[in-house]
Structures are given as structure tokens and as C-alpha cells.
Structure 1
Amino acid sequence: LREAARRGITVERAEAAAWVERNFSSPGRHGETRMLVHTIAWQYFPDETKTRIEAAMQRAGAMATAEAPLAWASVEQDEKDMAYLQDRVP
């Protein structure tokens, strides 16, 4: 946290679905790619949280354009306790 503060980066603490809903609720800016990235987190979210995040990202995907694209990538654990990379196109 000290390093983030030193670099002028704001760190937020929030419930995951509420954060995604807030930060992906409007169209992206021209010339910028917005990206949601998470690692070894999805398995710990309640089903309701997952549903809300998926819905928010679907809405964000509907607003994305070639000039303001959206990406969603995750590294999660599979059934064999191995990590895998998943990319989604909302």
C-alpha cells in the first residue's frame, strides 16, 4: 500500500460486484482499453456476486467499441488444483 501511495495510485476496498458495477457502468474512453483482471478469486465469490459481475460485464461489453474496447482476463484454479488463464469477451 505504501508503494501504491508513493506512485499516486489509489487503492480501493469494496465488495467485488459493487466495484465492478460502479467502474464498468459507463462507456470507456476513446483510445483506451478497459480491463477487468482477477486471480484466484472467482472460486471464493458467492454465486450472487458472480452473477452480478457477469451481468455488469455483459452490459459493459455491449457499450464497448473498437475505439474503446473491453477485456476480461482471469487466472483461476481448475478442478485439478492447477491454475489456468481465461479470457472472456463480454
Structure 2
Amino acid sequence: MDRSIPPGLVNGLALQLRNTSQSEEDRNRDLATALEQLLQAYPTDMEKEKTMLVLALLLAKKVASHTPSLLRDVFHTTVNFINQNLRTYVRSLARNGMD
């Protein structure tokens, strides 16, 4: 999955996150848009939530590797995105892991 993330998508997201005048909502929307583009390229044999979680983390890693100065911003945006969109899924993973 990591290798299938296009460099252009990483560059574009990095540019958008560099824009300090963007609100948190704008940043979450930019990340969601990038993830939707990536999801279109993946088969549906894996749960959508699982795919989104993995891709969000991989995309954050790639943006931070591409532009290290964005590490804090991309981490914060990714955590907010996960909390807003994937919280129930992450909680179910945690519960299943403790059984």
C-alpha cells in the first residue's frame, strides 16, 4: 500500500498543510479528499474503515518524510481525522485486542 501512494498526492497535501491560514476543518477536508482519491484505487476486499485508517497513517508518514517541518501539523490533522471519522472502528479494534 505504501508504494501505491502517488508522490503528487503527497506533494499536494504537503502544500495544503503548509498553508497556515487554513482552519482545522479545511485541513481535515484536505486529508479526507486525499484519502478518497486513494480509496478509489483499492479493491473492496478489505473493510473500508481499515483501509482508511491504514492509508491515513501511511499518508501522514509520507508527508512527514517529504516535509519534516510538517510532522506536528500532519500528526495533529491525522489524529483529528481519525477521532472524527474512525473513532468507533479504532475502539472496536482496541476492544477486540483485549479479549
TM-score by length of 2: 0.33
Instruction: Specify which structure has the higher proportion of helix.
Output: 2
Q: For CA contacts below 8 A with separation 6 or more, give which structure has more relative contact order.
A: 2
Instruction: Specify which structure has the higher proportion of strand.
Output: 1
Larger Rg: 1
